[in-house]
């Protein structure tokens, strides 16, 4: 059975729960709910697993905090013996309009410290990433406050529509492949 590691980036703890920076956790929670699995606290993160159409999905929410996510990714990749091409990292992106989806096969960290740490720990930029746009509605020098801030009322209502689509991206990655998933969902 082909195995996939889906990593949702975020920060642990109540203060971060509904922040823009935690969209990776929120999307994985949506996937877990849809597939009726629960996260269990394991080494370096919360893990949930399920099988769908002959594919095994391991969902990982690192407990290492955003900027040290690479340690958890590397550990679970090695432990579960998952090939780098079967890893998808889900994260926020301030360079993309709110709610817009962008999936890429590889790339730079783009100033994102979580992606930077993963790149350093895996020693490669050759892993798929799913960037969820959170927009850039912040004053100069206030990016950290913005991404660590909670969703406003309008964003919250729009998230209700965007989360199921985001969940479908993850299933498509495992069942239809990266290229098909990019063609189907990029820009939506």
* Closest-CA residue to 135 (of 160, 171, 105, 102): 102
| pLDDT at residue 1, as a whole number | 79
Assessment of whether the complete model's pTM goes beyond 0.85: yes
CA distance between the termini of the chain: 30
Residue 188 is predicted with a pLDDT of 84
Please tell me the predicted confidence (pLDDT) of residue 71. 97
Catalytic-labelled residue, pool 21, 35, 95, 112: 21
> Rounded to an integer, what distance in angstroms lies between the CA atom of residue 155 and that of residue 169?
20
Instruction: For residue 75, give the 3-state DSSP assignment.
Output: helix
What is the rounded CA–CA span in Å between residue 10 and residue 67? 9
- Interatomic CA distance for residues 23 and 91, integer angstroms: 6
Which domains are assigned to the chain?
Answer: 2-185 (3.40.50.1470)
95 carries an active-site annotation: no
Q: Give the angle 161-164-169 at the CA atoms, nearest 5°.
A: 125
| Whole-number pLDDT of residue 57 | 98
Mean pLDDT by 10 residues, the chain (188 residues): 95 94 97 98 98 97 95 97 97 94 92 92 96 92 92 94 96 97 94
pLDDT for 108 = 85
Of residues 171, 183, 181, the one with CA closest to residue 4: 171
What is the DSSP pairing of strand 87-93 with strand 55-62? unpaired
DSSP for 26-57 reads HHHHHHHHHTT---EEETTEEEEEEEETTEEE
Identify the CA nearest to 51 among candidates 169, 178, 175.
175
Q: State the alpha helices, DSSP H only, in 56-152.
A: 69-79, 113-122, 143-147
């Amino acid at each position: 059975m082909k195995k996939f590691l889906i990593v949702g980036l975020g920060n642990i703890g109540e203060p971060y729960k509904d922040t823009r920076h935690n969209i990776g956790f929120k999307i994985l929670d949506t996937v877990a709910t849809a597939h009726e699995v629960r996260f269990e606290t394991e080494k370096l993160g919360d893990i949930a697993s399920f099988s769908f159409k002959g594919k095994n999905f391991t969902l990982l929410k690192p407990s290492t905090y955003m900027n040290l996510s690479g340690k958890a990714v590397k550990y679970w990749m090695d432990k579960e013996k998952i090939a780098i091409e079967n890893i998808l990292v889900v994260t926020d992106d301030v360079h993309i309009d709110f709610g817009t989806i962008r999936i890429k096969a590889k790339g730079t960290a783009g100033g994102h410290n979580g992606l930077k740490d993963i790149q350093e720990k895996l020693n490669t930029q050759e892993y798929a990433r799913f960037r969820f746009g959170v927009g850039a509605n912040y004053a100069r020098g206030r990016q950290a406050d913005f991404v660590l801030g909670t969703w406003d009322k309008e964003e919250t209502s729009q998230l209700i529509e965007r989360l199921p689509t985001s969940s479908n991206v993850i299933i498509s990655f495992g069942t239809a492949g990266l290229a098909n998933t990019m063609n189907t969902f990029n820009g939506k």
